[in-house]
Structure formats: structure tokens, C-alpha cells
Amino acid sequence: MNTERIALSRPSITALELSCMADAAANGWGEHCYDYIEQFQRTFQQALNVPYAITASSCTGALHMGLAALEIGAGDEVILADSNWIATVAPVVHLGAQPVFVDILADTWCIDPDGVETAITPRTRAIIATHLYGSVCALARLQQIADRHGLVLIEDAAEAIGSEYQGQAVGTFGRFGCFSFHGSKTICTGEGGMLVTRDADFYDKVLTLSNHGRRKGQQRQFWPEVIGFKYKMSNLQAALGCAQTQRMAELVERKRQILAAYRLLLQESDGVKMNVEHPGTRIGAWMPTLVFSPQTGMTARRMVDEFQSRSIDGRVFFHPLSSLPSFGLQAGQPVAADIARRAVNLPSFHDMTDAQIERVTQTVKAALHAGC
């Protein structure tokens, strides 16, 4: 049996990426040191059909700057899903605000709007909707709730390049959305992120914060007006981002193909559920995810061990944030905790072969049929 290691994720780097990066390395200095950054922002804006975009060193940095621009801080509460990567909550904590964890919906793994309504207090300022694994949040309901209570809706779209709601790119609905270009994400710049918004004033505020507090158009040199951040993306990384964004449709399509291939090979009858795509939505399918039905007795831990023994990189579903040491090792919200125990992410890199997809599904089937 072929035992060549199957990676969980890996970027697709073609001649286009190499030529853009080589050009940036050779020429992107002096008066050209922002050329690729500006081009990346423009290309990304066009791809998402959103008027403003600001590059950042990471999605975490973009989220931190966006929350800071909203002046969220001590005494404020921010609502987010318990199933999340730590990056979504870290900036909330850094700003001194209180995160409030809400359960997820069992099908999309995204924040439960009913849970959000219950969690609102006079201190609530914002709701962060994370489009987990490329699934699409219940955006219309979340926006209604936010509007009714005077809250700001923010989208963590780090995992949702290519995901759409009613034909519009996710990340472009809330006051701002943020994206990640970490090496594991659908578009890669090594490390990197982007903040997008439709709000001109908000854009100006984040732009100033992102430039160490120096306002655009300020004539006086070295004149920061507020304490800002240094979360910039380099022109070299932006060159990679330009090339990848030009290939965005192709990269997303391949993600969707891989998910479809898994779906074909792993039927519901096998006792697994996968990423859902509700009517009116399109998922970017960043991570094909399997949730084993309780009847199978299969656990995330056991499946990942099984993958490891066959040189396949599988990954456990995110632990509920409230179950982490920083938040008191709590039991976790019920659905978030339950799904985390019995769900895994499957490999899905661009150049994956049919034989590799087959090997992953055979491993899943063998483990399920081995009895539990």
C-alpha cells in the first residue's frame, strides 16, 4: 500500500506566483514598495465586490484593528461561537473586553442566532460571526438581531474565501469582515490577512490605526495622532496574494471538487455527516469535515490516531473555547462540545490526487467497520 504522507493542507504555487514574487523581490522597493500591496487590495476588493480593503500581517491582526477601531474595550461584551479558533477571541481579550460564548447550530457549525439573543446584555457591543470551515452563518438573522439591539455585526471569514450568501461574498455583510492568508487557508501569502468593509469612515479609522496612528493625508512627517498597530503585510507577501487572488475561482472550485469527491465516497449511510450547503448559500469548502453519528461510536481522537497510523494528516474539530485553560476548562456549550468529540477535518490540498482521496475514505470506512 502506498504510504506517502498525505498532508492536511498545502498551498498551490504556480509559475504565476513565482513570477510575481520574483518581480517584487527584484523591483518592489523604494517608490514601488507598496505597488503589490495596493494591487492586492484592489484585486481582492474586486473579487469580493467590496469598496474597501486593508492588508494585515494576519487575520488576527485585522480583527484586532477592527475591534480597536470600534473602541471595544473594558466593560464591553462580545458574543462569539464557542466552536472557534483561538484567533477569534484573542483580540477581544487583548482589548480588555469580555468574550461571551454561544453554542453552534448542529448543521453549519456556526453561531446559533437564538443563543445570541439569549446572551445579549446591556454591556454587549458586538457579535462575531465565524463562517466555520467555510460554512455560511445565518447572516440575515444575525444582522436583524444586531440591528434590533444596536450591536455591531463582525464576520470572521478567515476560513470562508469563496463562500457566498444570496450571491454576495461572506465577509462583506458586517461592519467589517476579516480573512486569513495563512499557509493552510484557501489563499496563501505565508502569513497574512485582510480587513474589508463598506463603511468609508470606519475604513479611514482602521487605515490610521494600521499605520501606527498616522492619518492618511497628514502632511506632518512622523506624526502619529493616536497609538496604532504595526500589523502590516509586506510587498513580497502581497505579490503572492495578487497571484493567488487572480486564481481564486480556480482555488475555490478545487476545494469544492474535493469535498464533492469525499461526499460521493462517504455516504450518509456510513454514519457520517459533512459540510452543508443550504439553499441561497454557496460554501467555499475550506475544510471537508466529517461528523460521525453517535451510533458509530467513532471519536475524533480515535479517527485522527487511525489517520496517523496510515500517514494521513487528519485534524480534530476545534475544541470549545470555553473548555480551554484560559477560559476555565468548562464543559463547553452542549452542541459545540458534542460535535468536537466526534468530528474531524480531512486533507484537501489543491494538488491532491483521486488516489489520495480514496486512501483517506478507505481509512475512514475501515475504522468505522472495525466496530467500536
Ligand X SMILES: *Cc1c(COP(=O)(O)O)cnc(C)c1O
Assign 292 to helix, strand or coil.
strand
Q: Interface with ligand X by CB under 6 A: which range of 54-62, 241-249, 256-264, 269-277?
A: 54-62
SS3 at position 21: helix
Maximum alpha-carbon separation in the chain: 71
Q: Does 275 bind ligand X (CB under 6 A)?
A: no
Question: Which of residues 315 and 342 has its CB atom nearest to ligand X in the complex?
Answer: 315
List C-alpha distances in Å: 365 to 185, 341, 358.
Answer: 27, 18, 10
Query: Does the protein bind ligand X through residue 242 (CB under 6 A)?
Result: no
At 125, is the secondary structure helix, strand, or coil? strand
59 in contact with ligand X (CB under 6 A): yes
Distances (CA, A) of 220 to 32, 203, 204, 217, 344: 22, 21, 18, 9, 53
**Considering beta carbons, is residue 59 or 97 the nearer one to ligand X?**
59
Q: Supply 211's cell numbers.
A: 499605520
Angle of the 59-69 helix axis to the 200-210 helix axis, nearest 10: 120
Q: Does 158 bind ligand X (CB under 6 A)?
A: yes
Q: Does 363 bind ligand X (CB under 6 A)?
A: no
Alpha-carbon torsion (240, 169, 283, 106), positive or negative: positive
Residue 154 as a binder of ligand X (CB under 6 A): the answer is no
Kindly state whether residue 180 participates in binding ligand X, applying the rule CB under 6 A. Answer: yes
**Piece of 85-93, 94-102, 145-153, 226-234 that binds ligand X (CB under 6 A):** 85-93
Cβ at position 271, least distance to ligand X in Å: 27
Three cell numbers, residue 327:
477560559
Of 130-149, binders to ligand X (CB under 6 A) are: 130
> In the Cβ-directed half-sphere of 346, how many Cα atoms lie within 13 Å?
29
Query: Can residue 345 be called a binding residue for ligand X (CB under 6 A)?
Result: no
Of 15-23, 151-159, 163-171, 220-228: span binding ligand X (CB under 6 A): 151-159
What size, in residues, is the chain? Answer: 372
Stretch 181-220: interaction string toward ligand X, x if CB under 6 A: -x----------x---------------------------
87 binds ligand X (CB under 6 A): yes
For residue 267, list its beta bridge partners: none
Bridge partners (DSSP) of residue 182 are 190
Q: Give the range of 81-89, 105-113, 252-260, 307-315 binding ligand X by CB under 6 A.
A: 81-89
We find the least distance from the C-beta atom of residue 158 to ligand X, in angstroms, to be 3
Summarize as ranges the residues that interact with ligand X (CB under 6 A): 58-60, 84-85, 87-88, 130, 156, 158-159, 180, 182, 193
